[in-house]
Structure 1
Amino acid sequence: MSAPEQRFTPVLLTLPGLTPTLALEILPHGVTLHRLFVQADGRTHDLLIGPENPADHLTQKYTNTIVGRYANRLPVNQDAFPLSRNGHSSTFTPQSNESPTVSLHGGRVGFDYVEWTPLLDPSESQLFTDAEKSHLNGSDGVVGVIFKRISEDGEEGYPGRLLVETLVSLVEPSGPQAESVKTGSELKLGSVVIVYRAKLLDEGKVTPINLTQHWGFNLDASLKESLTVKEHTLSIKADHTIELNNVGLSTGSLLPVTGTHHAHAEKESKKIGEKWPTSGYDEFYVFSPRSTPTLPTRVPVSEFTPTSDLLKEIITSEASSKDPLVQLASEKSGLRVSFDSNQSGVQFYSNNLTNEKNGARKKIHGGSGVSGAGDSYGVGSAAFLEFHEPLAAWLNPSTIGHSGNDTLLASGEIYNNFVKMDVWFKSPVA
C-alpha cells in the first residue's frame, strides 16, 4: 500500500456486541473523524458533516480534524514571544496564515494537514500507561486506537521537539438500559472519548500547546430533509465569552452572556436559530466554575507511573451524562449529544465561512459526494464544538478558566486533554 493510500485509509472502530450502535472511521491524515455512524430506530445516521471521498479533506480543511499545536487564533508580531515555565524558557514565533497578523490553528502546515501513525499495537504508546492501555482490548467495553507523531523543534515556529499521541475511542453505554424506546424514553447509545497527550523530548524547553478536535455536527443531515442546525437546541454552561478584536484575536477581556444571543443556558432551551446573529456564531465560551474538580491538564512526568490510570476516570465518569458542559439536541431526529471535558471552554462555530459551490457533501446527507458539484454544505449547516483553552491564554491570563491552564508546557510535564461525548436517542412518541 502506498503512502497516500495509507494516509486516507480509514481505521474503523465499532462497539463490541452483535448490534453495535456506534461506529467511527478515523483517517491518519490529520486524525480526521471521517464518519460517525449511529444506528437508531432502524436508521443509520452520520452525525458529522464532510466530504464523501477521504482525500477531499485536503481541500475541505478543518473538517473533523485535530488542530494544533495551537487551536484558534494567535497574534503574529515582528518579535518572538518569550516563554517561561518551571524555570525553563524558550521563544516562539507564530507563522501567519489567515492574515499578516494572525496565525490560525497552528500555522501554515498544522497538525490537521500531516499524516499521523496509528499504533495498531497499543503497547507501542509512550504517553499512555500500562494501566490505561489495558482498557483498549474491548474487555471493558472500550475500543480505541492511538495516533502518534513527532512535531520537530521549530515546526511552524514552535519551540521544542514534541511527541504527541491522540487516543480516539468508543465506549459502550454503562448503567441499566431498561427503558423502552416505545415509551418515548431516551437511550444512551455509547460514547466517543478523545484524549490528547504530549511531551517535550528536549530538556529545558517551553512550548505553547492547545489541541482540539474541529468536528462539525448536524444531527438531522442523514434525514436528507434539512441542512441547517438552526432548529437544534444548544446549551452551554458558560457565563462569559472572550472579547475579540476586528481580526478575531482575544483582547484579554471577558464579556457576560446574560441578555445576549450568546446565552445558551440549559434552562432556556433556546434553539440555535432563535437569536441568530447576522454573521453566525464563531465565539469562545468560558465555562462557569465547576462544582467538582476535573482531571489535570498537565501531569509531572515523575507522577506518571505505569499504574496511573486517568483514562479509567474518563471512561467511567458520568459527568457527560448527568452534568454535561454542552448539549446539542434535535427533536426531528431524536438524537442528542452531551459533552464533558477538562478544558476551560468551547468554541462554537456555525460554519459561516463555507460555500455550497465548493467542497463536497456526503451521499448519506443527500449530496452527490462530488467535490465542486455545487451541493456542499452551506452557512449554518453544522455546529462545530471545539473544546480547548482560551485563545492565547498565556498572553491573556485574565481569560484563563477553571483549569488554570495558561497553555504552556515545559520539559518534565505531560499534557493531558480530554473530551467525552455521549450519544443519545429518543424515539418520537406515537
Structure 2
Amino acid sequence: MKTKNILMAFAAGILVLTGCQSKSDQRTTLSGILKSNFETSTTDGNTDLYVLKNKNGMEVCMTNFGGRIVSIMAPDKNGKFEDVVLGFDSIADYMNISSDFGAFIGRYGNRIGQGRFTLDGVEYQLPQNNYGHCLHGGPKGFQYQFCDIQQTSDSSLILSYLSKDGEEGFPGNLDIKVLYTLNNNNELSISYEATTDKPTIVNLTNHSYFNLSGNGENTVLDQVLMIDADAYTPIDSTFMTTGEIATVEGTPMDFRTPKTIGEQINDTSFVQIKNGHGYDHNFVLNTKGDITKPAVRLVHPASGRVLEVFTDEPGIQVYTGNFLDGTVTGKGSIAYPQRSAICLETQHYPDSPNKSNFPSVVLRPGEKYTSNCIYKFSVEK
C-alpha cells in the first residue's frame, strides 16, 4: 500500500509538472501574450504571432492580421519592462472588435473628404466610413486584411501585401513591403515601400496607441509631449482639414516647448480643441524629411520612459484617445478609459488629394513610394 501511494504521488507530481511546463511553453513572450491565442485558420487566411527581440531585453510582438503591433515591452528607469501599447490578448478580439490598435494603415492613412478624389481627370469614389469621409482606407482597410509576414531574423521581419486594383475604390494594384526592425539602440524602425501599375494615391502609417506608464488603466494626461512643429492643419467639426496651414503660436497646439498632454486638452474655448474633442490633428513638422532629427518626444516622468519619433514624412497625426470610453476591454482585462493612449502617426497630410497646397501623395507606375518611421525608446534617470 505504501509503495502504491508513493507511485500515485509521483504520477500526480509528473502531471502537475507537465501541466506547468505546457503552460510555460505557451507563454513564449515577455509580455505574457500567448502565441497560441494568435494561431488560427480562417477561410480568408491564417494568423500567427511574431516576436522581435534585441540584446537589451526589449520585445515587440506582431500579428499578420492587419500588420498589427500587439505589444512593446520597454524598460523604465529601474529596468522594469512593461507593455507600452494598447491592444488585445487574442486574435479573436482583433477580428471581432472594430479598432485600429497597432495597425498597418492604408491605402490612405487619415481622411479623404467625402471619400472622393480626382486623379488625371478621373473621379474616384471611396467608402464614406467617418462623418461622410473615407478614414484609414475605408471599413476594409489594411488593418482588417491578412498580410504575409516573413521573419528574417530574431530582430526583423518583412510584411507583404498586395492591394488589388479597385480595393475599397482605390485604383491600381499596389504591391507593398514593410520592413520592421528592432535594433540594439531600442529603436523600432518601420520602412515602407510600394509600387503600382496605375496612377494612384498612397499614405501608409502605423496606428499604435502608446501609454508609456505601462498601464492602460492610466490616462496619458500627465505625460510630457514635445512636437517640433510651428504649424498644423486645422479641422472642421467632422475632423476634415480645412486646407489652411495655421501657426501653433499662442494656441493649445503649441508643443514646441514640452508640456503635459493634459495642460490644455480641455480648453474648448479654442475651437480646434472643441472640433477634435481634444487633440486629433496633423502637425506640419519642422524636420522637413530629415529622419535624423526627432519630430516628437514623449516622456512619462514617473517611470522615466521616453519615446522619440523620427520620420522622413512631412507631418504627424497626434490623437489622444479621445473616443476611448471604457467600453473596449483590452489586454489584461483592462477597460481602456478615455485618453489612455496617444497615437503618433507619421504621414502626408489628411485629404492631400483634394488640397493642392499640400504635399502630393500621387504614385505612378515606374516610381517607388517610400516612407520611414523610427520609434526610439530610452529612459530619463
Corresponding residue for residue 412 of structure 1:
366
Q: 2:145 aligns with which of 96, 114, 117?
A: 114
Distance 1:110 1:168 in 2: 20
- Whether the aligned pair in 2 keeps the contact of 1:13 and 1:25 (CA below 8 Å) is yes
- Whether the aligned pair in 1 keeps the contact of 2:117 and 2:354 (CA below 8 Å) is no
Corresponding residue for residue 128 of structure 2:
96
Corresponding residue for residue 210 of structure 1:
203
- Whether the aligned pair in 2 keeps the contact of 1:163 and 1:198 (CA below 8 Å) is yes
Structure 1 residue 167 displacement after superposition: 1.2
Which has the higher Rg, Structure 1 or Structure 2? 2
Corresponding residue for residue 81 of structure 1:
117
Corresponding residue for residue 19 of structure 2:
none
Deviates more, 1:330-339 or 1:42-51: 42-51
Corresponding residue for residue 33 of structure 1:
69
Structure 1 residue 361 displacement after superposition: 2.9
Change (3 A) 1:43 1:274: same
Structure 1 residue 7 displacement after superposition: 4.4
- Whether the aligned pair in 1 keeps the contact of 2:40 and 2:48 (CA below 8 Å) is no
Corresponding residue for residue 254 of structure 2:
263
- Whether the aligned pair in 2 keeps the contact of 1:231 and 1:272 (CA below 8 Å) is yes
Distance 1:70 1:219 in 2: 27
* Higher RCO structure, 1 or 2 (CA under 8 Å, sep 6+): 1
Structure 1 residue 392 displacement after superposition: 1.6
- Whether the aligned pair in 1 keeps the contact of 2:112 and 2:353 (CA below 8 Å) is no
Change (3 A) 1:387 1:7: farther
Corresponding residue for residue 10 of structure 1:
49
Structure 1 residue 22 displacement after superposition: 1.1
- Whether the aligned pair in 1 keeps the contact of 2:282 and 2:316 (CA below 8 Å) is yes
Structure 1 residue 221 displacement after superposition: 3.0
Give the TM-score taking structure 1 as reference length.
0.73
Please tell me the root mean square deviation across aligned C-alpha atoms, in Å. 2.1
Q: Which runs of 5+ in 1 are unaligned?
A: 123-136, 174-189, 295-316, 364-368, 370-374, 401-405
Structure 1 residue 54 displacement after superposition: 3.2
| Secondary structure of the structure 2 residue equivalent to 1:34 | strand
1:329-371 deviations in Å (ceiling 9; x for gaps): 0110110011110111111111111121x221322xxxxx2xx
Corresponding residue for residue 396 of structure 1:
355
- Whether the aligned pair in 1 keeps the contact of 2:287 and 2:295 (CA below 8 Å) is no
Distance 1:152 1:60 in 2: 23
Distance 1:333 1:248 in 2: 33
Give the TM-score taking structure 2 as reference length.
0.82
Structure 1 residue 216 displacement after superposition: 0.9
Q: 2:81 aligns with which of 41, 44, 55?
A: 44
1:387-417 deviations in Å (ceiling 9; x for gaps): 10001213213233xxxxx111101011100
- Whether the aligned pair in 1 keeps the contact of 2:324 and 2:340 (CA below 8 Å) is no
Distance 2:237 2:250 in 1: 22
The aligned runs of 1:28-427 (5 Å cut-off) are 28-40=64-76, 41-58=78-95, 59-76=97-114, 81-84=117-120, 91-99=123-131, 101-120=132-151, 137=153, 143-173=155-185, 190-200=186-196, 202=197, 205-222=198-215, 227-265=218-256, 268-277=257-266, 278=268, 279-288=277-286, 290=288, 294=290, 319=292, 323-356=293-326, 358-363=327-332, 369=333, 375-400=334-359, 406-427=360-381
Deviates more, 1:34-43 or 1:154-163: 34-43
Distance 1:55 1:344 in 2: 36
Distance 1:197 1:276 in 2: 35
Structure 1 residue 169 displacement after superposition: 1.1
- Whether the aligned pair in 1 keeps the contact of 2:47 and 2:146 (CA below 8 Å) is no
Distance 1:331 1:81 in 2: 44
Structure 1 residue 60 displacement after superposition: 4.3
Structure 1 residue 289 displacement after superposition: 5.4
Alignment identity in percent? 26
- Whether the aligned pair in 1 keeps the contact of 2:118 and 2:353 (CA below 8 Å) is no
